[in-house]
Amino acid sequence: MATILHLAFPDQWEAAKQAGSYRWSTRGKSLDDGATFIHAARPEQVGMVANFVYDDVEEPLCLLVIDTERLVSALCDEDLDAIGISFPHIYGPLNLDAVVDVRPYLRGADGRWPEVLDHSLRS
């Protein structure tokens, strides 16, 4: 099973379960607000993304573990910012059955968002 991850606020994930799909692209942006895709990351990219996008967030986040083979919407691996690093992007809503696990994501003792070291998440 190939997996990717998406950082989410727990309340947005709970709302998605009630709505039937997840539509948040990234912090403060959703498909309903004109975003064209949902940002995702590979496990080794999560800490970098979290410390950039969620640097001032104190509340816990959650990691949506997504089975790429279950996705209904298109998945593209892209370097849209031309930084030499490609990221997975989901072009459309995230179907709930593609989310195979939801894990709490907490800041480390040093105050930074940690890297994901769980080897079971690496594909």
* CATH code, residues 3-107: 3.20.170.20
Confidence grade of residue 77 (pLDDT, cut at 50, 70, 90): very high
pLDDT reading at 122 higher than 60: no
The domain limits of the chain are 3-107
The predicted model gives 53-59 an average pLDDT of 94
pLDDT of residue 79: 86
Q: Is 69 exposed, middle or buried (0-12, 13-18, 19+ CB in 10 A)?
A: exposed
Q: What's the chain's Rg over C-alpha atoms?
A: 13
Q: Show the tokens assigned to 12.
A: 């947005």
Q: What pTM value is reported for the model? A: 0.91
